[in-house]
Structure 1
C-alpha cells in the first residue's frame, strides 16, 4: 500500500481538463490504512492501475470517461466535459425532445449509427460508466418516463469495466426508484429506441452532431458552469470552500464533506416523496454496527469518517460514544479499515426511511483504560500491549 504522502503525489497526476482532483477527500489520503482502490478497479483505460501492491498513474492513458468519478465514494475525483450539471441539462433537453424518453449512448455506438439518429434526442458519453445515480433519480423528478443506456460492443471493448460500472448504477437506481414508488426505470439496451431514430437520412444535420460532440469548446464550458450554478441554486446546494490542508477540528476529527452528488441524490429522493418501509441494499450506503465488547472507545472511526456519518458525542453526565447517521454514509469503509479492535462492521443493508429521516443510532462507550489526558498513558498502554511490567518511563 503506498504511503499517504506518495498517494497524494500520485493523485496530482490525474488533474486535467477532464478530471478535477480533490485530494483531501480521498479515503487513502485521509487514512493510510484505508483499502479503497475503487478508482483503479474500474478505470477503463489503464490510467489508474494497481499492481503488485503499488498504485500506478499513467495520465497519458486517460480518455476522460469519468468512470473513476462515478465509483469514488467521496467524490475525490470530479468529472468534467461534461460536468454533472451540464450532463443533466443535456438529458433534460433530450427528454423533452423525445417525449419523456432519455437516451444516453456510448459514443462508440452513437458514431456507428451516424445519420440514423435525431441527435437532439440522444446524449453521447465517452463511456456509460460516466452515468451515476443522482443523475438518473433527478431525471425521474424532472418527469422522465424511461432511461435507455445504449451500449456498444462493450463485452469485447477494451473499456469493458465501464459497462460493469453502468450495470451497478442501473441496479442501484432501479432499486431506489422502486422503493420511492417512481414508475421510471433504467435499462441497458443494445439498440436505440424508436423514439430517437430518423425515418429518413435526408433530415440528418451534421451540425447537430458537432454541437453535441464539441464538449471542450469555451462556449460549452461556459454553458456547463451556468447549468452547474442553476442546479445548485434550485436544489439548495451551497458551495463549500476546500482547503489544501487537513486541519483537525475542535472535536478531534478531520474535516467532513458531503459530496454534491449525494446531496443531489437525497434531495431528489425527497422530491419523489416517502419511500417504502423496507431495507435496501445498494452500492451507495452502509449501516455501521459496533460490537461494544470489542470496542476500545478510541473513537477513531469518527475521527476519520469523511462525511460525519459517524460523529462523537459527550453528554452532560459524562456519557460518551459515537452516533451513526446512515444517510451520510458513503460506504468508503474508512471506519472498518481504521478500527484497531475490528469491533466495527458495515452492513450493506439500510432502512430506506432512515436515509431521509435523520435517524441516528447512538453507541455508548465505556471509559478507556488509559484516558488521553493521563500523562502516563503511553507507558500504561505499552505495559498492557506487551503484557509485561518491566516497562519504564524516562
Structure 2
C-alpha cells in the first residue's frame, strides 16, 4: 500500500462532484501498516488501483458509481448525485408507487428497456454497487415487502465488481432480516420485474431517468453541488471542516468518526424491534478478541481505531486495558494489521443483541514492562535485549 503522504495526496485526486473524499478517515492514511484495499478492489472503472504495493488514483476515470463508498468501512469516500438522502427519497417513492416493491436497476438495463418502463416505479443507478445497507434497512423499516436489485454479472462488463459488491450487501441483508424476523426480502435479479412495466403509451420519462445518472455537463455539475448546499443550509447542518492532516488528540489517540451510514443502519434496525440474540456474520461489524498472554499492553489498537470501537481505560487503582464496543466496529481490520505481537484477532461474527444494546467488553491488560511514552524506552529495551545494564545515553 502507498506510504502515508502518497495515500493522502492520491485520494484527493478522486475528489469530484460525484465523490467526496475524507483522507483522515482512511485507515491507510491513519497507519501505513493497514492493509485495507477495499476501494481499489471494488472500483468498477479502475480509477483506484493497487500496483506493486502502492495506491494509484486516476480521477479522470471515475464514473461516480459510488461502489467505492459502499465498500469503504470508514466512509472515507462518500457518494453524491445522488447522495444517500436523494437516493433513499426516490427509492421510497418508487416503492410506494409499486405496491411496496422497490426496484433499483442498472442504468444500462433501464436504457435498454426505455419506453417499456413506468418511470414512477423504478430507480436507475450507474451501478448496483451504489446500493448499501443503510438504504435497504430504511426500506425495511418503512415497510417495503420486497427489494429487487436488477443487473447482470457479466465478466465483459467493467461494472462486474459493483455487481459482486451488491451481492455482498444482499447477503448481509439476509442475515439482518432473519435475525430481526423482518419479512422484507432483498434479492438480485437479471431481469426487470413485470410490476414496473409501463401501463400506457407514455413510457419512460427521459428527464427522470437521467436524474440519477452521472451528469457530464458543467451546468449540471454546478447544479448538483448547489442543491446539496441548499439542503445542508435548509436543515441547518454545519459544513465539516476537517484538518488537512491527522493529528493525535490529548488522550493519545487519533480522531474518531462513526460513519453516518452505520448509525442509520442501527437506527433502522432499532425501529424493527428486538432481534434474536444470535451470532451474525456480515460484512459490517467485527468482534475483537485479545490474547492476554501475547499482548504487550501497547494499546496501539485503541490509538488507531477509526471509530472508537476500541478505547483505552486507566483506572485509579492502576488497572489498564481497552474497552471494545462491537456496535461501532466497522471491520476495517486496522487493529489486527497493526498489532505488533499478533495478540489481537478480529472476527466477523457478532451477537445481534450487542449491536443495539451498547454492550461493551472490558479487556484488562498487564502493566507494560516499559513506559511507552518515555523518551528513554529504547534505552531500557536495549538493556534487556542485550542483557547488559551498562548501556548509557550520551
Q: TM-score category by the smaller chain?
A: over 0.9
1:161-310 alignment to 2 at 5 Å?
Answer: 161-211=161-211, 213=213, 216=220, 241-310=241-310
Taking the aligned partners of 1:325 and 1:115, their CA distance within structure 2 comes to 50
Give distance in 2, aligned partners of 1:210 and 1:73: 29
- 3-state DSSP of counterpart to 2:15: coil
Counterpart in 2 of 1:154?
154
CA distance in 1, matches of 2:295, 2:136: 39
- Whole-angstrom CA distance in 2 between matches of 1:217 and 1:387: 66
CA distance in 2, matches of 1:242, 1:180: 37
Secondary structure (helix, strand or coil) at the match of 2:56 reads strand
- Using the TM superposition, give the Cα deviation of residue 371 of structure 1 relative to its aligned residue in structure 2, in angstroms: 1.6
TM-score of the pair, normalised by structure 1: 0.93
Q: 1:122: Cα distance to partner?
A: 0.7
Structure 2 length normalisation: TM-score?
0.93
Structure-1 separation of matches of 2:152 and 2:115? 17
Q: Which runs of 5+ in 1 are unaligned?
A: none
Instruction: Tell me, yes or no, if the aligned pair for 1:86 and 1:228 is still in contact at 8 Å.
Output: no
1:361, CA displacement in angstroms? Answer: 0.7
Q: What's 1:138 paired with?
A: 138
Pair 1:225–1:265, CA change in 2 (3 A): farther
CA distance in 2: counterparts of 1:161 and 1:75, whole angstroms = 18
1:1-394 matches, within 5 Å, as 1-152=1-152, 154-211=154-211, 213=213, 216=220, 241-372=241-372, 374=374, 376-385=376-385, 391-394=391-394
Q: Take 1:229 and 1:90, find their aligned partners in 2: how far apart are those partners?
A: 21
Tell me the distance in 2 between the aligned counterparts of 1:256 and 1:250: 13
**Aligned CA distance change for structure 1 residues 205 and 315 (closer, same or farther; 3 Å):** closer
User: What is the distance in 1 between the residues matched to 2:370 and 2:32?
Assistant: 25
Kept in 2: contact 1:180–1:274 (CA 8 A): yes
- Partner of 1:359, secondary structure, is coil
Flag the 1:209–1:254 CA change in 2: closer, same or farther, 3 A: closer
Contact kept, 8 Å, 2:126 with 2:213, in 1: the verdict is: no
Shift, 1:225, TM fit = 5.6
Residues 202 and 256 of structure 1: CA distance in aligned 2, closer, same or farther (over 3 Å): closer
Q: Secondary structure at the match of 1:113?
A: helix
Secondary structure in 1 matching 2:346: strand
Alignment CA distance shift 1:251-1:99 (3 Å): same
Structure 2 contact 305–334 (Cα < 8 Å) conserved: yes
| Conservation of the 8 A alpha-carbon contact between 1:85 and 1:228 | no
Aligned-residue offset at 1:173: 1.3
Q: Compute the displacement of 1:50 (Å).
A: 1.0
1:250, distance to aligned residue in structure 2 (A): 2.0
Secondary structure of residue in 2 paired with 1:164 = helix
